[in-house]
Structure formats: C-alpha cells, structure tokens
Amino acid sequence: MSKLIRSIYTMTPEIVELCRDLVRLNTVNPYSGDAAPAGEKAGQEFLAPRLRDLGAQVRLLECPPNIYTRTGLLGPRQRDFSDRPNLVAVWDFGGDGPTVILNGHMDTVGIDNMPDGLAAELRDGCIHGRGTSDCKGGLTVAVSAIRALLAADLKLRGRLIFQSVVDEECNGSGAGTLTCLDAGYTGDVAVFVDGNNGTLTMGCGGCLTADVFIEGQEGHAAAGTGVSAIEKALVVKRGIDDFRQAREAARAASRVNLGIFRAGVHPAVVPGTAYLSLNAVYAYEEAAASRQGGGAYGGPAIRAQFEEMIRQAEAGDEWLSARPSRIEWVKDLIPYDQSPDDPWVRAFDRAFRAAAEQEPAYDKMTAWSDAAHPAALFGIPTILYGPGVGGTAHSSAEYVRVENLVACTQVIATFLAEALGAGE
C-alpha cells in the first residue's frame, strides 16, 4: 500500500465533513419543480475559496444562453442560466505532461418531497440526504483526491482541471459541461465522478424527450358540448404505446416512459387541451448508425419513427386527422462508448488495482450522463467512476457509504499521481 493511499485513510473525517457540508447546501436545479429551488451558486461559492487555498486558478463561468445551438445539440430551449455559474479550477504543474479533467455536477433534483434532504445525517456508516449519491459524493471525492495529491509532495507535470458544473439534472442536457469544454477547458482524459458503486462505466445510452400537445374544444359538461382533449390524448397515447412496444421489441433496454399526462381545469368543463411528455432511451449503436447513414449523430431516426407512429394513430380519428397533435422535441442527449482498451482506461485500471487491491468491475450505463459530451464531441477518453449507491439517486432514501467515498478518493488520487507523472 502506497504512502498516498495510506494518507487518505487519515483524511476520512474531513472527507465525511466535506460531503456533509455540500449536502447541507441547497443546490436544487431551478427546473426541479420545487417551490423554491436555490440553484447551484451556493455550492460553487463554497468550493471556490477552498480550491484557491489549494493553489488553483479559479473561475466562475456562466453558461451562454445558446450553448446547445453553438455546440450543435438539441437541448431545452429558453433555459435561464443567469446566476448559475460553473466552477473551474486549474492547476498548471508545467512540463510536457497531460491535461486531466475531473468533472462532477453541483445541481440536484428536488427536495420538496424529502423533508430531511439537507440534513446530511451520518448514520450506520452512511451519509443520508439529497445529492449524496448524485453527485455531491462524487464532488467530495474529486476535491479530496486533489487535496491528497497536493499534500503528498510529489513531482507533478501537466495540468489538472476540476469542473463543478450546472444543469445536469431536471431535463438539463449537460449545459455546464458543454460550457466548460466550449470555453477551452478540454484535456487528454476525463474522469466524471458521477458513477456508482466504484464501477468503471465505459459509456451511456442516449435519451430523447418529447412534449406532445393535443387540442380539443372546451364546452360545458352538462350541455354535452365540446371535444374532450383527454379522449383525444388517449388516441395519441395508443400511438405512444405502439412506439414503446416496437422500441422494446427491437432492443429490450430501449425504454419509453410517459412521465406526464395533464389535462383539464374543472370537472364541469370539457378539457380543451392536453399535454404529454415522455422519455425514450436509445443505444450508442443507433446513434452511430445515424451518422454512418449520413444523418446527425444521435436519435433523428428514432424521432422520425415516433412521429410516424403518432400520425398513424391519429389517422383513424376524424378530429385528430384535421388537428394533429403538436410534437416538440425537448432534447436529444447523445450517447457515448468508451473502449476499455484505450491506454487511459488501462492506466485507470492499474490505479484501481493498486488502490483497491482487487479487479475493477466494468459496465455501461443504460441511462445518460454528461460524460458523453467530452467523449462524443471532443474525442476525449472518458471514464465514469464514483461513489454513488446504485438505485438511490433521486429517491427519498438517497445516501452514500463513507467507505465508498474513501475508496474512490484513493483510486482517483492514485490515478492522478500516475497520469501527471508523479514520482515519490
């Protein structure tokens, strides 16, 4: 066991307190649905002076309003990024070494249905609260690994870039990560600390979100007038069901989830409008096939399939044939696929084996991560690795194990020491 790894055991109390301090801060994404979401700023302002004290050049960087269009992606429109800065910290060690990126997101999902979400209770070897697994535990690991690396008095070369980003959650499409990359904070390898169970995740699926608006005609329920938008939305839903069945028959993991169905204002009023919103995940191979076929990288073929099946369902309804639903595509979160044979992945594998004294587990994420952006858009080898507890993120029982925080800190610190050319 190296001196660096041993030193991190002694850091356990401060690792725990850093995580708890971060969890106590309300950094709920403004689009979470909470009554009073705070945004990410308090978390970034908490970390900024601590990183400066570690010798970093620190910058607070807001997302441009047009970040999706300028990077060629479909993302949510009219997203307000004001007073929601990303935090970038850079250590330049000189020499001809590589540039390593550590990235995690500061925003969390909502806490209105989680009364103790900011309590950061330490119980049974775990820290409980919103963001513990997703992704404040990961941010804790990244900062703690950097602290341990710098305290080890090693000879380093190259550059280290830490990114604490905004708008990964709540229909966010990784605007913060895109902003950092677009501003020139790129590198030779990226480690995203938004992973689970200490697993080396080598890619993620894509995800489409569609909003569907259905027009009916308001009327008085007692008079029997009007055309119910709910009834017409059920016709559209049959088209969504057909789409889901076709998708899942072709690829079992290509889940389609109708997450929102809203209509009506009063029991005595025939509803005049209805609104549906759904997610459809897709595989890296589908995005690659789209590019090879001359289309854009991502899910355009799946979008076309969805629209065709909705129109087929509507064709059998006289009202909807004349007044088809309006389909708006909110986002297309692109997937990525990282080869485990890449030299940087092999280096991370060695660091894991040295720190954990066991073989790492590898997987790919069916859901989406903004780790896709550096990999798919900038060609940066990207590893998703972190301390989260799978299945607890976004739930009212979210927690992270202290042993996960310490173990992941040891692995990442070991990787940084090797990547940045350290010598004891």
pLDDT digits (tens, 9 = 90+) for 266-281: 999 999 999 999 999 9
What does the alpha-carbon distance between residue 200 and residue 221 come to, in Å, rounded to a whole number? 57
Pairing of the two strands 382-384 and 269-270: unpaired
Reduced to 3 states (helix: H, G, I; strand: E, B; else coil), residue 323 is coil
pLDDT digits (tens, 9 = 90+) for 6-65: 999 999 999 999 999 999 999 999 999 999 999 999 999 999 999 999 999 999 999 999
pTM: 0.94
CATH number for 3-204+335-419: choose from 3.40.50.970, 3.40.630.10, 3.20.20.30, 3.40.50.10470. 3.40.630.10
Closest by Cα among 315, 77, 99 to 211: 77
CATH number for 206-333: choose from 3.30.590.10, 3.50.50.60, 3.30.70.360, 3.40.50.880. 3.30.70.360
Which residue intervals of the chain bear CATH 3.30.70.360?
A: 206-333
pLDDT digits (tens, 9 = 90+) for 56-102: 999 999 999 999 999 999 999 889 999 999 999 999 999 999 999 99
Pairing of the two strands 86-94 and 158-165: antiparallel
Which residue intervals of the chain bear CATH 3.40.630.10?
A: 3-204+335-419
Length of the chain: 424
In which band, very low, low, confident or very high, does the pLDDT at 366 lie, cut at 50, 70 and 90?
confident
What does the alpha-carbon distance between residue 81 and residue 62 come to, in Å, rounded to a whole number? 7
